Amino acid sequence: MTVGPHGWKLRLNAYKTPNDQRAAFELAVTVLPLVALWAAMWLMAGVSPWLPALLAVPSGALLVRLFMIQHDCGHNAFFSSRNANDWTGRVLGVLTLTPYDFWRHSHAMHHAGSGNLDRRGMGDIDTLTIDEYLARSRWGRLKYRMYRHPLVMFGLGPTFLFLLQHRLPVGGARLGRMPWLSTMLTNLGIAAFFAFVISLLGLSTFLLLYLPMIVIGASVGVWLFYVQHQFEQTYWERDIDWSHPDAALHGSSFYDLPRWLMWLTGNIGIHHLHHLSSRIPFYRLPEALADYPELRSIGRLTLWQSLACVRLTLWDSGSHQMVPFAALTHRTA
């Protein structure tokens, strides 16, 4: 019997129950190695200010995993208690430089409208259709091309997002006081944390230790988010034809990473299942995928295949696929 997207959504509901002991374990095996790496970087800085750079990559990777735990907290999926999820998320937001409550709202909007051409612009990557791009002025096209350039998308952009944009509740004017409270209290926590560490290490050592981690972690995080929705056969429809289960299953990739990378990224690569049922804890996603191996072929991308996603920049409503800027030569010829 063929199971449709709605049927899969119902089947996956069986995996939504969090396990508090498992959640505590996942938190511990992420935080403790990160603290150990920070301590090692501090000791190495006493030998040479440049030696800690050797540990920037694993430290940045563990920051990504912390963000994925914060992400699950935002879905009320990590612990069984809403309060435990929220306060864990808020504390982790100080380390990931992300105002938890405000981010949780924008991310919920992303889930509610992912793949809907009439609900773009909240918690997603800006994506234009070919017709929309061609209707823009020369300056508008140039801005979009600059935004979509890999150096901006995966380098300057993530750094700007986490270091600067998250410091103000951009786009939250309609939500009342919550965005300001979330952002400013997070900023206060970040300032207190930074002041404490700087008092121990000094400003220059702190910058050498922390900035590379943030830049690496932010870039990896944006890359993951990008390939989870910006692949060739993804899903975009106008509101009248849009379906949440269809968008979840076919508009989210299964990023089939090696097991150790799946661990570091909190299994977020099993993104189609996550969008079908966002209350499934990340530590239960592999269990669901193992029980339903037929879901492995839907939207599957390997690490090597995902590199081709960088060139995909526009949605072609005629062929229902993402295409590169080069495809415009056929439209304008």
**240-280 tens-digit pLDDT:** 999 999 999 999 999 999 999 999 999 999 999 999 999 99
Tokens of 10: 């119902």
The answer on pLDDT for 205 being more than 90 is no
Please write the tens of the pLDDT for every residue from 135-180.
999 999 999 999 999 999 999 999 999 999 999 887 776 778 898 9
Range of the domain at 70: 5-125+149-311
Read off the DSSP letter of residue 81. Answer: S
Residue percentage of the chain with pLDDT more than 90? 79
pTM: 0.93
Residue 74 in domain: yes
Confidence of residue 234 (pLDDT cuts 50, 70, 90): very high
**Percent with pLDDT over 70 in the chain:** 98
C-alpha span between 245 and 4 (Å, rounded): 9
Span 192-205, average pLDDT: 88
Q: Return the pLDDT at 333.
A: 47
pLDDT digits (tens, 9 = 90+) for 28-68: 999 999 999 988 988 887 788 778 888 899 999 999 999 99
What are the Cα distances from residue 298, in Å, to 205, 231, 255? Answer: 46, 12, 10
Domain-embedded: residue 233: yes
Within a domain: 194: yes
Gyration radius (Cα) of the chain, Å: 20
Question: Considering the domain boundaries, does residue 138 fall inside one?
Answer: no
Beta strands per DSSP E along 87-141:
128-129
Q: Are 277 and 9 in contact (CB under 8 A)?
A: yes
Domain count, the chain: 1
The two structure tokens encoding residue 197: 């560490």
pLDDT of residue 277: 95
- Res 211: pLDDT: 87
Token code pair at residue 143? 């801005």
- Tokens representing 281? 């804890």
Domain assignment of residue 39, yes or no? yes
- For tokens 């020369």, the residue is 138
Q: Which residues contact 286 (CB under 8 A, 6 or more apart)?
A: 262, 267, 270
Residue 321 lies in a domain: no
Evaluate if residue 2 carries a pLDDT over 80: no
Separation CA 137–CA 39 (nearest Å): 52
Distance (Å, rounded) from C-alpha 7 to C-alpha 10?
5
pLDDT of residue 1: 54
How high does pLDDT run on average in the chain? Answer: 92
Extract the tokens encoding 70. Answer: 């914060």
Q: What is the DSSP letter of 121?
A: S
Calculate the alpha carbon distances from 332 to 138, 144, 318 in Å: 14, 18, 15
More confidently predicted of 301 and 171: 301
Residue bearing tokens 């208690």: 81
Is residue 284's pLDDT more than 60? yes
Whether 283 shows a pLDDT value over 50: the answer reads: yes
The answer to whether position 99 is within a domain reads yes
**Residue at 175 is within a domain:** yes
Give DSSP secondary structure letters for 218-256: HHHHHHHHHHTT-STT---B-GGG--HHHHHHHSS-EE-
Q: Which residue has the higher pLDDT, 123 or 26?
A: 26
Pairing mode of beta strands 321-323, 254-255: unpaired
- Dist CA 312 CA 148 (whole Å): 9
Average pLDDT over residues 87-96: 97
Q: What is the pLDDT of residue 331?
A: 61
Q: What is the rounded CA–CA span in Å between residue 158 and residue 138?
A: 26
